[in-house]
Chain A
Amino acid sequence: MNAALDRYRDIVDDFQALTDALDRPLPTTGWVNTLKTDAETLFKGFEDAGVDYSRLNWKPDGFRLEGVDAKSPGRRIEFLLGHMQIQEEAAMLPMYFMEPAEGDRIVDLCAAPGNKTAQIAVALRNRGTVIANDRRVARMRAIRNTSDRLGLLNLVMTNCDAANFPTPTERYDRVLADVPCSCQGTSRKNPDALYETPADVLHALVRSQRAILERAFRICKPGGRVIYATCTYAPEENEAVIDDAIARLPFEPEWIPCRIDGVVSSPGLESWEGRQYSSGMHNAMRVWPHQNDTGGFFVAAWNKPERW
């Protein structure tokens, strides 16, 4: 048994189902770029071309590919022309809680490779402003490629350390902190991801995650929304980071219940290995791979109070 996985035995609803799911390949999923086409047109095109697909039951413009097109979706004409984007289903979840409004100014603090940024830009219908920030220049090329293919006009790319994002406080209507993590939830795509993170690496990650989340709260406008996401199971990188970051804030953020009809999930942990977390943690969303045949993911969301 993988030790990195075994430590989660007591917090998974069905551990055997989890390990079985991790042995299966990850489905290929994506969404329709409604700036260029619409779901019915894209799906009709799939049917005419004999593409084996099914629609996601929680996301009207989401789909899952099967068969030969699932292996190389990037060769499909719909991808080449930017009519669709390929993204892991669990990674689409944070956008559900964004609820952007027309003209919003939104920042994705750790944007590469840019799929969630693209979701935001499309949801804003190419209006408003989406800041796609990433610290690593090399990874920003992926954002550029995605943006060009999808035809995104409302994107501003910046290259800064998210934890020290240099902007006046209370600037953004929505802030996405999809932070760098140990990526254990991506092991169906990259089996090497499921390892026991060395203590020093974990410590550095956690420190960075906490700083990014704190910064996210500070640059969010009063009444705005902050979303925290990781693709790891580790409570140290999820509930503990949130607990520590919130404790340092001069205000009490209002938890958004993160549940989606059609998506099976588990609540955030209220305790782990003897440590108690804040009472709102059950509002967070843990997605285990066996629950929806996806990767693993964690999402939490808050509204920043209007006055504090």
Chain B
Amino acid sequence: MERGIIEFEFEDMNESVGVIATWFGIPLDFFDDYRLVRTNTKGLHIVNADIQVENKPKAESIGLPFVHTNMAVWKLTQPASLFLGPHCTRNLIMLDRKQACDYLARKPVMLTDDNLHECDGPGYVMVRFGAMTLGLAFRHRDDPMELQSMVPKAWATADGVDPF
């Protein structure tokens, strides 16, 4: 190890991403080139395995916000959802244009039976429009045909806007 380079205590990858990888059908070896770093109490960031961080100057932020851990069920961040989305094979919902616009505007998305092919049940799903991953959504147990958009406010479109 070169002098001045911090040796991070990386999070255990299986423990941290195992459930997420299984739920979304992503092979665990996909994560071989990456590491997870805890930079604060709220969540983990994902970095490339060969990143080198010096002890000086102090790093204010590292890599991409990956998952919020300060909740009962860990939740992928929007940047992480966009990063992982193309590799998901399960719990994946294809939206039509109207649904996609609603999703991006953080409005409830009404699902059809055709939307539910690859879903295991209530919980997080990844949503796509065509070849584009749009992000994360949630299906509630008491209303599984309605999708709650998880698009952060700062990333959302204005109501009625069609960004396509």
Chain B residue numbers with a CB within 8 Å of A157 are 59-62
C-alpha spacing A149/B80, complex, angstroms? 10
B22 at interface, CB cutoff 8 A = no
Contact assessment for A154 and B51 in the assembled complex, using a CB-CB cutoff below 8 Å: yes
C-alpha spacing A128/B63, complex, angstroms? 11
Chain A residue numbers with a CB within 8 Å of B154 are 145
A81 at interface, CB cutoff 8 A = yes
C-alpha spacing A105/B50, complex, angstroms? 10
Knowing A49-B164, A75-B161, A148-B78, the reply to whether A105 touches B52 (Cβ < 8 A) is: yes
A165 at interface, CB cutoff 8 A = yes
C-alpha spacing A292/B83, complex, angstroms? 35
C-alpha spacing A153/B83, complex, angstroms? 10
Of chain A, the residue at the smallest CB distance from B49 is A127
Chain A residue numbers with a CB within 8 Å of B64 are 147-148, 151-153
C-alpha spacing A157/B64, complex, angstroms? 11
B interface footprint on A119-155 (CB within 8 Å = 1, 0 otherwise): 0000000111100010000001000110111011111
Contact assessment for A167 and B163 in the assembled complex, using a CB-CB cutoff below 8 Å: no
B interface footprint on A63-85 (CB within 8 Å = 1, 0 otherwise): 00000000000011100111100
Chain A residue numbers with a CB within 8 Å of B82 are 36, 81-82, 151
A171 at interface, CB cutoff 8 A = yes
Contact assessment for A81 and B132 in the assembled complex, using a CB-CB cutoff below 8 Å: yes
Q: Which residues of B1-52 have CB atoms within 8 Å of chain A's CB atoms?
A: 3-4, 34, 46-48, 50-52
C-alpha spacing A165/B56, complex, angstroms? 9
Of chain A, the residue at the smallest CB distance from B152 is A148
Q: Which residues of B64-105 have CB atoms within 8 Å of chain A's CB atoms?
A: 64-65, 77-79, 82-83, 86, 104
C-alpha spacing A280/B86, complex, angstroms? 48
Contact assessment for A80 and B163 in the assembled complex, using a CB-CB cutoff below 8 Å: yes
A19 at interface, CB cutoff 8 A = no
Chain B residue numbers with a CB within 8 Å of A76 are 163
Contact assessment for B48 and A127 in the assembled complex, using a CB-CB cutoff below 8 Å: yes
How distant is B56 from chain A, measured CB to nearest CB, in Å?
5
B157 at interface, CB cutoff 8 A = yes
C-alpha spacing A271/B50, complex, angstroms? 45
Knowing A77-B164, A127-B50, A165-B57, the reply to whether A156 touches B62 (Cβ < 8 A) is: yes
A103 at interface, CB cutoff 8 A = yes
B109 at interface, CB cutoff 8 A = no
A160 at interface, CB cutoff 8 A = yes
Contact of A80 among B59, B62, B157 (CB under 8 A): B157
B58 at interface, CB cutoff 8 A = yes
Contact assessment for A81 and B58 in the assembled complex, using a CB-CB cutoff below 8 Å: no
Chain A residue numbers with a CB within 8 Å of B157 are 75, 80
Chain B residue numbers with a CB within 8 Å of A171 are 4, 54
A278 at interface, CB cutoff 8 A = no
Chain B residue numbers with a CB within 8 Å of A155 are 61-63
A291 at interface, CB cutoff 8 A = no
How distant is A13 from chain B, measured CB to nearest CB, in Å?
42
How distant is A127 from chain B, measured CB to nearest CB, in Å?
5
- Top 9 closest A-B pairs, CB basis? A77-B163, A148-B79, A157-B61, A158-B57, A157-B60, A160-B57, A129-B52, A151-B83, A153-B48
Sample of 13 more A-B contacts, CB < 8 Å, known A81-B133, A151-B82: A36-B86, A75-B163, A80-B157, A81-B132, A126-B48, A127-B50, A128-B48, A145-B154, A151-B83, A154-B47, A156-B61, A166-B56, A166-B57
Q: Which residues of A come within 8 Å of B, CB atoms?
A: 36, 41, 49, 75-77, 80-83, 103, 105, 126-129, 133, 140, 144-145, 147-149, 151-160, 165-168, 171
**20 pairs, CB–CB < 8 Å, chain A vs chain B:** A36-B82, A77-B132, A81-B132, A81-B133, A103-B50, A128-B51, A144-B61, A149-B79, A152-B64, A153-B48, A156-B53, A156-B59, A158-B58, A158-B60, A160-B57, A167-B4, A167-B54, A167-B57, A168-B3, A171-B54
